[in-house]
Amino acid sequence: MTNFLEVRDLSKRFGDFTALGNVSLDVTEGEFVCFLGPSGCGKTTLLRAIAGLDPQTSGTIRQKGRDVSALPPAQRDFGIVFQSYALFPNLTVTENVGYGLVSRRQNRAEIKARVTELLALVGLPDSGAKHPAQLSGGQQQRVALARALATSPGLLLLDEPLSALDARVRVRLRHEIKALQRRLGVTTIMVTHDQEEALTMADRIVVMNHGAIEQVGSPQEIYRRPATAFVADFVGSMNFLGGTLLAADKVKVGDLTFTCPAQDGLAPGLKMQLCIRPEDVRVRDLPADVQNRVPVEVGDLDFVGAFCRATLKVRSAPGVLLTADFSSNLIRDLDVRLGSHLDVALPPDRLRVFAA
């Protein structure tokens, strides 16, 4: 497969501040890519550089083989949806959606047919005569999407398109946008700070921090095999246990020794972070010879609906805490309550280790 978009060594500096430092990235045709990261990580800067709205300081961008690095936005091929939607408030929905078509000198009937088609596509077939202020936030979002798609751009850019909406609408629109993108096959880049959004919608996630890319991968890869401590911490919940590397596959935390995936090329004695997700902590049916057994006392139980998040005190290492997700069944079956003593196990294949 050829690369639809090639970003090479892109940097953006504001005076002494580096908003983007030598970022390189490839996007294949038809892909849905999410830029994920905390605010100020450079994800929006990268998106706006790709659009040509805030050009990079150095580096190149090629789209479909064409070098667009120095082109103004109007000479690039993209549609964009902003967090604010930027719908023209004095124009009707029809006029908004048709805004880019009118200047292309298409005839009226063609424009009308295209607008009708687009409004049907985003599920607003009867709202053409309304003004944006008469629509709900979710409906405005769809109009903005229809307007961005009207000119059939090769690249769709979405800048935090869902963050101004309330939780329920957001979840519904996630699916709709993803379904629409699949149907049209338009290459899409979405910027978001919401990891759940990125995990559910993206084919590939680009995790960014401090103007650099931390990891690029499928949602499963990002979640299961975070490449850096930052990604491990930022995406999902994660336990971090400080320890020391004893051997390639052994880390000592307090007076407990854990078996973990082998770390090649690291010298014993290094300070390490041992990581495990709360849902990966095992409690039930531990075999007698289970690896990484930890005797704990239940310190806290936070009810979060479908399950409880337990804070476990490691009994042999005062001050070391472990969080684990316990289902309601498990709590009932094992009669878990505050102060209960339990044995848990940290499966070695679920452990991630990072140099501290």
Partner 1 sequence: MSLAVPALRINLSRDDLIMRAGVVAFVGVLLLIVGLPLWALLAKGFEDRNGNYVGVANYISYFSTPALFNSALNSFHVAAVCTAIVVPLSFLYAYALTRAVLPGRWLFQGISLIPIFAPSLLPGLALVYLFGNQGFFKGLMGGSIYGFDGIVIAQVFYCFPHATMIMVTALATADARLYEAADALGASKIRVFFTVTLPGAKYGLISAALVVFTLVITDFGIAKVIGGNFNVLATDVYKQVIGQQNFSMGAVVGMVLLAPAALAFIVDRLVQRKQVALLTARAVPLIPKPKFGRDLFFTLFCTLVSAGILAILGMAIWGSLIKYWPYNLSLTLANYDFANFDANGWESYFNSLRMALGAAIAGTALMFVGAWLNEKTRGFGAVRSIVQLLAFLPMAVPGIVLGLGYIFFFNAPNNPLNFLYATMAILVINTVAHFYTVGHLTATTALKQIDPEFESVSASLKVPIWKTFFRVTVPICLPAVLDIAIYLFVNAMTTVSSVIFLYAPDTKLASVAAVNIEEAGTTAAAAALCVVIVITSAAVKALHLLADRFLFARLQAWRKR
Please give the residue ranges that form the binding site for partner 1 (CB under 8 A).
Answer: 9, 11, 51-53, 55-59, 69-76, 78-80, 82, 84, 86, 88-91, 99-100, 102-104, 131-134, 147-148, 150-151, 153
Q: What are phi and psi of 298, to 5 degrees?
A: -75, 115
- Least distance in Å: CB of 227 to partner 1? 24
Q: How near is the Cβ of 144 to partner 1 at its closest, in Å?
A: 9
Q: How far apart (Å, rounded) are the C-alpha atoms in residues 343 and 91?
A: 65
Give 35 or 234: the residue with its C-beta nearer to partner 1: 35
| Beta-ladder partners of 310 | 301, 324
Query: Minimum distance from CB of 78 to partner 1 (Å)?
Result: 6
C-beta closer to partner 1: residue 70 or 248: 70
For residue 24, the minimal CB distance to partner 1 (Å) is 14
| Integer CA distances (angstroms), 131 to 96, 97, 148, in order | 9, 12, 17
**Closer by beta carbon to partner 1, 57 or else 163:** 57
CA dist., res. 344 & res. 84, Å (int): 47
Q: Which is nearer to partner 1, 2 or 39 (CB)?
A: 39
Instruction: Between 50 and 314, name the residue whose CB sits nearer to partner 1.
Output: 50
Q: Give me the residue label for tokens 């596509």.
A: 121
Other CB atoms within a 10 A radius of the CB of residue 23 amount to 22
Q: What distance lies between CA 272 and its chain's CA centroid?
A: 26
Q: 187 φ, ψ to 5°?
A: -60, 130
Residue pair 299/338 in contact (Cβ under 8 Å)? The answer is yes
Q: How far apart are CB 55 and partner 1 at their closest, in Å? A: 5
DSSP assigned state of 287? -
- How far apart are CB 197 and partner 1 at their closest, in Å? 21
The residue (of 130 and 282) whose beta carbon lies closer to partner 1 is 130
Contacts of 264 (CB under 8 A, 6+ apart): 248
Nearer to partner 1, 132 or 219 (CB): 132
How far is residue 282 from each of residues 249, 337, 347, measured CA to CA in Å?
Answer: 20, 17, 7
Q: How far is the CB of 198 from partner 1 (least distance, A)?
A: 22
> Around 89, how many Cα atoms within 13 Å sit in the side-chain half-sphere?
3
Q: Which is nearer to partner 1, 111 or 308 (CB)?
A: 111
Q: CB-based burial of residue 241 (10 Å sphere; 0-12 exposed, 13-18 middle, 19+ buried)?
A: buried
Q: In the complex, what is the shortest distance from the CB of residue 150 to partner 1, in angstroms, rounded to a whole number?
A: 8
Q: Is 352 left (phi over 0), alpha (psi -120 to 50) or beta?
A: beta
